[in-house]
Amino acid sequence: MVVYTIVELMRLTRIELCDLAARITNRLPDYPETSQAYANARETLRNIRGILARRDPAYD
C-alpha cells in the first residue's frame, strides 16, 4: 500500500475521500500489524481524516 500525500488527497472531493477511507479501512485486516503496508494505510487514513476535518464542506 502506498501513502497518499496531503497534496494528492487535497485534489479529491469529500465523496472520493470517504470512499478511499472506506476501501483502506476494509483492507487493513489483510495486512499484518507489523508490516509497512499496514503502517502506510494508517498514515493515509490519518491524512484523510485531517483533510476532512479542516475542509470547508461548502466547497465540495
Question: H or E segment at 40?
Answer: helix 36-54
pLDDT at position 54 is 87
Question: What was the pLDDT predicted at 60?
Answer: 53
Q: Read off the C-alpha cell for 13.
A: 472531493
Taking the C-alpha atoms of residue 17 and residue 4, their distance in angstroms, rounded to an integer, is 11
Q: How far apart are CA 47 and CA 43, in angstroms?
A: 6
In the chain, domain spans: 6-59
* pLDDT for the residue 57: 59
Whether the Cβ atoms of residue 38 and residue 31 lie closer than 8 Å to each other: yes
Segment 8-59, tens digit of pLDDT:
999 999 999 999 999 999 999 999 999 999 999 999 999 999 999 986 655 5
Q: How far apart are CA 27 and CA 31, in angstroms?
A: 7
